[in-house]
Structure 1
Amino acid sequence: MTDMFLEKFRALVPKYLEDEWQEEDGLTPAELDEALSAHTFTIPLVLREFYLALGGCEDLMEAYHYFWDPEELEVDDEGFLMFLEDEEERFTWGFRVSELSVPDPIVWRRNNVRGQWKSEDGTFSEFVFDMFDWAFSDED
């Protein structure tokens, strides 16, 4: 299968960290498969390539929001695969389990106090690129 997002995610390292992408910035396919082996679900292609590109890069995996390590991924009672949380744990982001076969599914955000999910109206790749632009902007 052709990599759809891998190089775009790898390009985030030089863009935001002013350093070349290194192999240790990502996970190897074997490391990722091992981390996911206990799960009963399959992650979308875009999330797989995100981990392959950046799963070892703490400066991006924990840039204001915290991407969950592959072994930490979980599905909630409402049928959302959760992958990201803000630093104050007010919001969690995820995908509908029914859309995990979509290569780049729509991202949903849960208000953790209310327990309500709302669509972000954008795919994972769009969401990630926008989030990093925001997190690394010079504005306060």
Structure 2
Amino acid sequence: MTDMFLEKFRALVPKYLEDEWQQEDGLTPEEIDSALAAHKFTVPLVLREFYLAIGGCEDLMEAYHYFWDPEELEVDDEGFLMFLEDEEEQFTWGFRTADLGIPDPIVWRRNNTRGQWKSEEGTFSEFVFDMFEWAFNEED
């Protein structure tokens, strides 16, 4: 299968960290497969390529919000695969498990106090690029 998002995610390193992408910025396919082996779900292509590109880059994985490592991924009782949390743990982002077969599914956000999920009305790739743009411009 062709990489759909890999190079775009790798390009986040030079764009925001002003450094060339290095192999250690991403996880290997073996690391991802090993981390996901215990789970009873598969991850969308876009999330796998995100981990391949920058899963080892703490400066991006923990840029204002915290992307969960592959072994930390979990599905909640409402059927959402959760992958991201804000630093105050007020919100969690995820995918509907029914959408995990879609290469770049819509992202949903849960208000952790209310427990309600709401669509972000954008795909994971759109969400990630917008989030990094916001996070890094916020710091300037």
C-alpha distance in structure 2 between counterparts of 1:32 and 1:99, whole Å: 20
> What letter corresponds to residue 129 of structure 1 in structure 2?
F
C-alpha distance in structure 2 between counterparts of 1:138 and 1:18, whole Å: 17
C-alpha distance in structure 1 between counterparts of 2:125 and 2:91, whole Å: 19
Q: CA deviation at 1:100?
A: 0.1
Matched, 1:76 2:76: yes
The number of residues matched between the two structures is 140
> 1:7-86 counterparts in 2 under 5 A?
7-86=7-86
Q: CA deviation at 1:138?
A: 4.7
Q: Secondary structure at the match of 2:137?
A: coil
Residue 116 of structure 1 corresponds to 116
Q: CA deviation at 1:109?
A: 0.1
Stretches of 4+ aligned residues off by more than 6 angstroms: none
Q: TM-score, normalized by length of structure 1?
A: 0.98
5+ residue gaps, structure 2: none
5+ residue gaps, structure 1: none
C-alpha distance in structure 1 between counterparts of 2:80 and 2:59, whole Å: 26
C-alpha distance in structure 2 between counterparts of 1:118 and 1:8, whole Å: 26
C-alpha distance in structure 1 between counterparts of 2:125 and 2:105, whole Å: 9
C-alpha distance in structure 2 between counterparts of 1:5 and 1:38, whole Å: 25
> What letter corresponds to residue 85 of structure 1 in structure 2?
E
Q: CA deviation at 1:8?
A: 0.1
Q: TM-score, normalized by length of structure 2?
A: 0.98
Residue 94 of structure 1 corresponds to 94
Q: CA deviation at 1:10?
A: 0.1
